[in-house]
A and B are shown apart, each in its own frame.
Chain A
Amino acid sequence: MAEPSQSTAASALYDPRVRGYAYQALLLAALVALVWSASHNVYVNMQARGVPTGFGFWDQTAGFDINQKLIAYSSQSTYGRAFWVGLCNTALVAALGIALATPLGFAIGVARLSPNWILAKIAMIYVEIMRNTPLLLQLLFWYNAVLKALPAPRQSINLFGLIFLNNRGLYVPRPEFALGAEWIALAFLLGIAGAFAWRRWARRRQALTGKQAPVGAVAAALCLGLPVAAYFAAGRPVGFDLAHQAGFNLSGGVQILPELAALIFGLVTYTAGFIAEIVRAGVLAVSKGQGEAASALGLHRGLTMRLVVIPQAMRLITPPLTSQYLNIVKNSSLAVFIGYPDLVQIFAGTVLNQTQAAVQVMAITMGVYLVISLAVAFALNAYNARQALKER
């Protein structure tokens, strides 16, 4: 049964497959035209303004200094080196932010569910304030209204002569390692390995005989006691360089810039509010019978939370928690507002202004964030696939 030949043109027009190809061809043509005209314009505009079109600036001397560097850098270093300094500073903020916001957020989230009315209300007020005011406002408040208002170095706030706080930052003792300090690190690693072995043994014994053994206390003793023993055995190889008054300023110790302190403090308190809500939602989603069954077995509230509810809630908590971690990484770019030398401030700020290579610099900067986000997304997908309930 051959179709009438005159209707094939019309039926091709109504064939969803043909239409699909046509739509896609149109979109592709539009995208190609857009990219082509944009790149043409970029090229023409950059030529007209005398802006470098390649990545040659990467190896040129930067000529500016950076006030916080985790890797060697001076004003004689290259722009490429400045990029790595900025990336390390961003990584430092992100790592500290995640490490501090997670326990704070969990604590506040659990506090919101506490049977103690006043604790629950205080946690609620904290969460509402943090979630309903902009992060930038909080950062500026901590930086301009709190840290800048601290006394000058000569009137530093002094905690036991160890820690000094003034408007130039927070000064903590700097450890100085002499020969033999590696034994302490070794002892610490040994302590961790020992703690894991002890936990394994205790669990196996409990499974076999029902007898319990203290795990936390022994692990703490191993992890702290062994390094302390090694410290004395190796002849006290670690000294501390304390900050002390020198003229109008403090010298010695490790100076934590007020910018870094404000950024970490602001990011941690802000993100903890969001993590608290995630934890609360996760805990509430665990069926009530689980908690009741745990109390019927005689577990008190803390153990019920730790052994029964939180492990089940983690399945719900992990995906949004990961996106909060990514938010910390992305929000660390607000450093640029208070002058902390992170990737955006150094690279997309100073380097961009000096080289005028806007396209290359922005592409690299966004590329870094994009790579981090995509890598975390892939890791999360893999984790979810492993954690998902195995249903029949």
Chain B
Amino acid sequence: MADASLAYVRTAPAPILPAPIFSRGAFAWMRENLFSSWTSGALTLILLALCLWLIPPLIEWATVRAVWSAPDGALCRAHQDGACWAFIAQKIDYFRYGSYPQGERWRVDVTEAIGGVLIAWLAWPGAPRRAVGAGLFFVAFPILGFILLRGSDWFGLPVVETVLWGGVFVSLLTALVGIVFSLPLGVLLALGRRSPLPIIRAASVMFIEFVRGVPFVTVLFMANFMLPLFLPESWTPDRLLRSLVGAALFAAAYMAEEVRGGLQSINKGQFEGAMALGLKYWPMTGLVILPQALTLVVPGIVNNFIGLFKDTTLVSIVGLVDFLGAVENAFKDTVWVGPTIAPTGYAFAALFYFAFCFAMSRYQAFTERRLAAGRR
């Protein structure tokens, strides 16, 4: 076929040229994602300028211009264009423990460490014997925590009054008590709401809708001002306990709606199959329905927990000193007063809450992906 006399016919294949520079590598990516059109390109430039204008000063404020160590606020008042991390360093123990006595603070550390280990055990999907972990977390840990934190003469631990409790550990305590008590209560309420028995259903619906319809602040006010009125004169529950009860009841209503969603998504055949096997209501619920329903709502439960953890900041309205309350209290220290103290304190608090909540939201996304993978 190939006739050598025809000069215009190629005898060798053309060399393979690389794609034009604008359609490969970083250039192509930028063209696609940053400058795909005139408006997009203009937007990119404006946003880049905005970032350059905002971010470097912010980083400088937090690092090179900041005061890292100082005995009191004088140096921070002198450097008003930088953060005052020295204030945080000075107050960090107060932020963590509140006014908990110095010599007893190891008890808080031990409780937090045990709680951390148990939560990791429960949260890690492939962990061995998670049922044991759940039992320890929901039953043994609250009792142990109570003995350690409050103290007991039987174990030779001096009693620490709850008015001295404060800081991060009160925030964590409120959130954990909320979750430990709201989960079983929420399951019961959700089952009650789906019960065929009208009085049980009505009672559950009324509780859930009442609590979900009012702000957490009013629930705390109610727990604080009205709980003592509802109880006989002789039992006046302490201030912390009242708020914990309020937090647990509040969280239970939201948990109940989460669990109800899980119960509703269980196929009817599961109920019928369990009944055909001769299971009665409680064995059917406990062995067949709840294990499936609760697995489905793990992301929702984590989401609720994030909300609850953020809501714990509100307990300062009834006089408790949570982490944010401790930060606010520390602002009143006249030794440290200055214009950079409040922004520094809020920045530190924001980092703390962000670290916790962001980690939990990543975990939530992970559980969601796991569930989705199983259902594909």
Point out residues on A near B: beta carbons under 8 Å. Answer: 16, 20, 23-24, 27-28, 31, 38, 41-42, 44-46, 48, 115-119, 122, 128-129, 131-137, 140-141, 144-145, 148-149, 330-331, 333-334, 336-337, 344, 348, 352, 358-359, 362, 365-366, 369-370, 372-374, 377
Contacts of A352 in B (CB 8 A): 221, 225
Residue contact A41 to B231, C-beta cutoff 8 Å: yes
Residue contact B226 to A28, C-beta cutoff 8 Å: no
Point out residues on B near A: beta carbons under 8 Å. Answer: 32-34, 36, 40, 43-44, 47-48, 51, 196-200, 203, 209-210, 212-218, 221-222, 225-226, 228-233, 281, 306, 310-311, 313-314, 316-317, 324, 328, 331, 339, 342-343, 346, 349-350, 353-354, 357-358, 361
Docked pose: A144 CA to B221 CA in angstroms: 24
Docked pose: A144 CA to B199 CA in angstroms: 49
B312 nearest in chain A by CB position: A134
Docked pose: A220 CA to B230 CA in angstroms: 59
CB distance from A193 to the nearest CB of B (A): 35
Q: Given A136-B313, A348-B218, are A369 and B213 also a contact pair (CB < 8 Å)?
A: yes
Residue contact B222 to A134, C-beta cutoff 8 Å: no
Provide the main secondary structure of the chain A interface. Answer: helix
Contacts of B198 in A (CB 8 A): 24
CB distance from B326 to the nearest CB of A (A): 13
Contacts of A134 in B (CB 8 A): 310-311, 313, 324, 353
Other CB < 8 Å A-B pairs besides A41-B231, A116-B44, A369-B218, 10 of them?
A41-B230, A116-B33, A116-B43, A136-B314, A137-B313, A137-B350, A148-B342, A149-B339, A149-B342, A366-B222
CB distance from A81 to the nearest CB of B (A): 21
Pull 9 A–B residue pairs with CB atoms less than 8 Å apart, ordered by A.
A45-B228, A116-B40, A116-B44, A119-B43, A136-B324, A330-B215, A333-B217, A362-B226, A372-B213
Residue contact B226 to A131, C-beta cutoff 8 Å: no
Q: Given A132-B354, A334-B217, A369-B214, are A359 and B229 also a contact pair (CB < 8 Å)?
A: yes
Provide the main secondary structure of the chain B interface. Answer: helix
Residue contact A132 to B361, C-beta cutoff 8 Å: yes
Contacts of A373 in B (CB 8 A): 209, 212-214
Report which of B199, B225, B228 forms a contact with A27, defined as CB distance below 8 A. Answer: B199
Residue contact B353 to A133, C-beta cutoff 8 Å: yes
Residue contact A362 to B346, C-beta cutoff 8 Å: no
CB distance from A76 to the nearest CB of B (A): 27
Contacts of B350 in A (CB 8 A): 133, 137, 141
Report which of B40, B199, B314, B328 forms a contact with A24, defined as CB distance below 8 A. Answer: B199
Contacts of B218 in A (CB 8 A): 333, 344, 348, 362, 365-366, 369
Q: Given A31-B203, A116-B36, are A38 and B230 also a contact pair (CB < 8 Å)?
A: yes
Contacts of B48 in A (CB 8 A): 118
Residue contact B232 to A20, C-beta cutoff 8 Å: no
Interface centre among B212, B216, B218, B232 (most CB of A within 10 A): B218
Contacts of A141 in B (CB 8 A): 343, 346, 350
Contacts of A362 in B (CB 8 A): 218, 221-222, 225-226
Report which of A24, A45, A116, A370 forms a contact with B197, defined as CB distance below 8 A. Answer: A24
Contacts of B200 in A (CB 8 A): 23-24, 27
Q: Given A45-B233, A133-B350, A358-B225, are A374 and B358 also a contact pair (CB < 8 Å)?
A: no
Docked pose: A372 CA to B313 CA in angstroms: 25
Residue contact B357 to A122, C-beta cutoff 8 Å: no
Report which of B32, B197, B233, B317 forms a contact with A20, defined as CB distance below 8 A. Answer: B197
Q: Given A119-B43, A134-B324, are A369 and B215 also a contact pair (CB < 8 Å)?
A: yes
Q: Given A137-B346, A145-B343, are A117 and B34 also a contact pair (CB < 8 Å)?
A: yes
Residue contact A133 to B215, C-beta cutoff 8 Å: no
B199 nearest in chain A by CB position: A24
Contacts of B328 in A (CB 8 A): 140
Report which of B47, B231, B310 forms a contact with A122, defined as CB distance below 8 A. Answer: B47
Q: Given A42-B230, A118-B48, A359-B226, are A140 and B324 also a contact pair (CB < 8 Å)?
A: yes
Report which of B34, B40, B217, B225 forms a contact with A344, defined as CB distance below 8 A. Answer: B217
Report which of A115, A330, A337, A348 forms a contact with B221, defined as CB distance below 8 A. Answer: A348
Docked pose: A42 CA to B233 CA in angstroms: 9
Residue contact A344 to B215, C-beta cutoff 8 Å: yes
Q: Given A23-B200, A28-B199, are A132 and B358 also a contact pair (CB < 8 Å)?
A: yes
CB distance from B209 to the nearest CB of A (A): 7
Q: Given A140-B324, A344-B217, A348-B221, are A358 and B226 also a contact pair (CB < 8 Å)?
A: yes
CB distance from B173 to the nearest CB of A (A): 16
Residue contact B40 to A115, C-beta cutoff 8 Å: yes
Q: Given A20-B196, A145-B342, A348-B221, are A41 and B229 also a contact pair (CB < 8 Å)?
A: yes
Docked pose: A144 CA to B200 CA in angstroms: 47
Report which of B196, B213, B314 forms a contact with A334, defined as CB distance below 8 A. Answer: B314
A353 nearest in chain B by CB position: B225
Closest 3 A/B residue pairs (Cβ): A373-B213, A132-B357, A117-B33
Interface centre among A38, A132, A336 (most CB of B within 10 A): A132
Docked pose: A180 CA to B346 CA in angstroms: 51
Docked pose: A373 CA to B221 CA in angstroms: 19
Residue contact A358 to B214, C-beta cutoff 8 Å: no
Contacts of B342 in A (CB 8 A): 144-145, 148-149
